[in-house]
Structure 1
């Protein structure tokens, strides 16, 4: 059984924090690979600033090209919108019976997890690994048995921060992979 971590997000754009977290999850040994699941529409986010699906997918693929154990998936593009992780996990489990899927989320998402569609079903049927986010403390004693907080390190960068820097004319090259810097600057200015 291949243990596959699903790391969903808009990746609008992908940044070095995303990649560092995926690498850290792999290095901890609880999963065999990470699928960066590019989401066409997160039901808890506004779509106003969202770059075209294909552009975000292509940039994400380019950013992680050659990184062992990290793959980019457009699987949600063919599912109904908005993208509910419960639907995604159900479909993935059906289509890939040789894999055990694990959900990788930030502490900020865990704080609102009760608002996720079929949150209790996800908790009951899939392991969840939470990575730390500044300002979002997790009481590990209160976590369900399938949910664990993991020490991936803290990465204080967000896609919003990258987009804001570009709009202000600042160079975000230290926050995003060099392989996509020029494209991201052009697309988000």
Structure 2
């Protein structure tokens, strides 16, 4: 059974931090591939400046290109909203019985896992890989054998910072995969 990591997020926009973490997970854990699952909207976050979901999907597709260990999924676009991780993972498991799905989350998300729908069932049913985020140590309590921290690099790049920097006229080309820049220039109405 192929071990597939699910890296879910709004990717508003996708940036090199997302790609670096996914790449590290493919190369330094037993995860064989990573699917970037574009979420229409996280029920625990404000909608704020969320770009249109199909645009975010197109940016992720452009960012990963033809890298064989990465794929993109829009499965939540067709699920009831708001979408919840447990429901999405169960749908993936029934749709792709030849894969073993693992959820990839940051330690900041792990710190609030008890706010997630049916989080105890999620932890029981699916392995979780937790990568480090600043100010959120990875603490895994006893009785969570499916949960493990990974020693991925600590990357402090945020989509919010990227949008703000672009609007302020900053040249942050090395924070973004090059194929994503044209999408943002048009979406944020920026000069080229």
- Give the TM-score band, short-chain normalised: over 0.9
Q: Indicate the RMSD between aligned Cα atoms, in angstroms.
A: 1.3
Given the two structures, how large is their TM-score scaled by the length of structure 2? 0.94
Alignment of 1:12-91 (within 5 A): 12-91=12-91
Long gaps (5+) in structure 2: none
How far apart in 2 are the matches of 1:188 and 1:46? 19
> In structure 2, how many angstroms separate the alpha carbons of the residues matched to 1:169 and 1:126?
42
Using the alignment, how far apart are the partners of 1:172 and 1:76 within structure 2? 30
* Alignment partners' CA distance in 2, 1:122 and 1:130: 14
Offset, 1:140: 4.2
Runs of 4+ residues over 4 Å off in structure 1: 140-143
Alpha-carbon deviation of 1:185? 2.8
SS of 1:37's equivalent in the other structure is: strand
Number of matched residues?
A: 189
Equivalent-residue separation in structure 2 for 1:143 and 1:177 (angstroms) = 39
Indicate conservation of the 8 Å contact 2:130/2:138, yes or no: no
| Distance in 2 (alpha carbons) for counterparts of 1:112 and 1:143 | 17
Is residue 107 from structure 1 mapped to residue 107 from structure 2 by the alignment? yes
8 Å contact kept, 2:43–2:83 = yes
Greater Cα shift, 166-175 or 124-133 = 166-175
Structure 1 unmatched runs, 5+: none
Structure-1 residue corresponding to 2:8: 8
Distance 1:79 1:44 in 2: 17
Q: TM-score, normalised by structure 1?
A: 0.96
The separation in 1 between residues aligned to 2:133 and 2:112, in whole angstroms, is: 13
Distance apart, 1:184 and its partner CA = 1.4
